[in-house]
Structure 1
């Protein structure tokens, strides 16, 4: 994988703007930062997320550096709308479409075949983790930034995830240029992860959506 050079904190901690979600222009301002190749923090329906343009390889590498995250751990992609899905996946297996119809937008991340246009930094294999969050502010930012963002929890690897914007700003000082504050995160848990790339369903992480609910839907 083309990791490039080891990145250092590119900004002073004072450069991170805390933007109230209801402040006029906040969504546009955050999206502009992302389009410029910078890292930002956005609200989702689970936890606050460290985000960048999903198609900007250098920005994706900066996420790994900011989180001290090993390259062996892929970074999920959050979409604004269902129509953005063909940009990031090669195809959607019929079984995956069942879960998409039922749980998107919502706290279900689905592994799907990765589109070749995505930078290799997104994942070290042929799949990509994708979801649409049930958070209007987060989706509005993603939409304004181009429709698809690489997003992972706003914290250092191994630390507790940030559940407020201020906490995220403090954890990632020096790495982000904008933090959008939409109040405390509604969930204390990350999304459920479901692998739909193989011949059988594989629940990789149980979160707000239980394994029992997923298996029950699959058996209908």
Structure 2
């Protein structure tokens, strides 16, 4: 277990190299994002994803989201990008919006019981983006034990996850401090599954009709 302080350019480069190598070995890393800190693994390494779930103390019934390092990555991960999803990506990526879409059936990953879908986000944090561009799509969940408060600093994550993580990238305090908004775009009308960093009104300005969290269809 090693922590790298990413405010220092030399330590940041060393940390990114170490995290990239750790992910390639199937190990876990903690990274800063704009919302909260995340614990991540190579999305295509099923054993690493299982280790991630074990570190958090939860099962496959809560599938692990995937973070990407560019807009274009999504085209290789889904069957097709709905037009409304494209508009939302252009408006809110990188940023605090996660989109639930149908993933391409040919992908060899096991993120949990996702029923053919995947939650995707491009975070607005330079350290996270550098790591994602080096590793590729990563399975990333909040860096905390299940049921515990999300980690807003590297120290918060270390206190909960300890040596189950090989590399910690310390990017200071998470600037937003709350989880992303999760929007399901697999149905005829986008539906908010979790209200978070992006407000419902902002989503409606871009997408038109959006069903808020807890609202019935058509409301």
TM-score (ref. length: structure 1): 0.89
Answering whether residue 63 of structure 2 is matched by residue 78 of structure 1, we say: no
| Distance (Å, rounded) in 2 between the aligned partners of 1:118 and 1:131 | 19
Q: Where does 1:29-178 land on structure 2 (aligned, <5 Å)?
A: 29-116=18-105, 117-145=107-135, 147-178=136-167
| Distance (Å, rounded) in 2 between the aligned partners of 1:70 and 1:85 | 26
| Distance (Å, rounded) in 2 between the aligned partners of 1:217 and 1:98 | 7
Would the aligned equivalents of 1:111 and 1:129 in 2 still touch at CA under 8 Å? yes
Moved over 6 A (4+): none
Q: Where does 1:197-208 land on structure 2 (aligned, <5 Å)?
A: 197-208=186-197
* Structure 1 range deviating more: 172-181 or 116-125: 116-125
CA shift, 1:122, in A, is: 4.1
Would the aligned equivalents of 2:32 and 2:127 in 1 still touch at CA under 8 Å? yes
Evaluate the alpha carbon distance shift between residue 153 and residue 77 of structure 1 in structure 2; reply closer, same or farther with a 3 A threshold. Answer: same
How many pairs were matched up? 204
Structure 2 unpaired stretches of 5+: 210-219
TM-score (ref. length: structure 2): 0.89
2:182 aligned residue: 193
Secondary structure at the counterpart of residue 166 of structure 2: strand
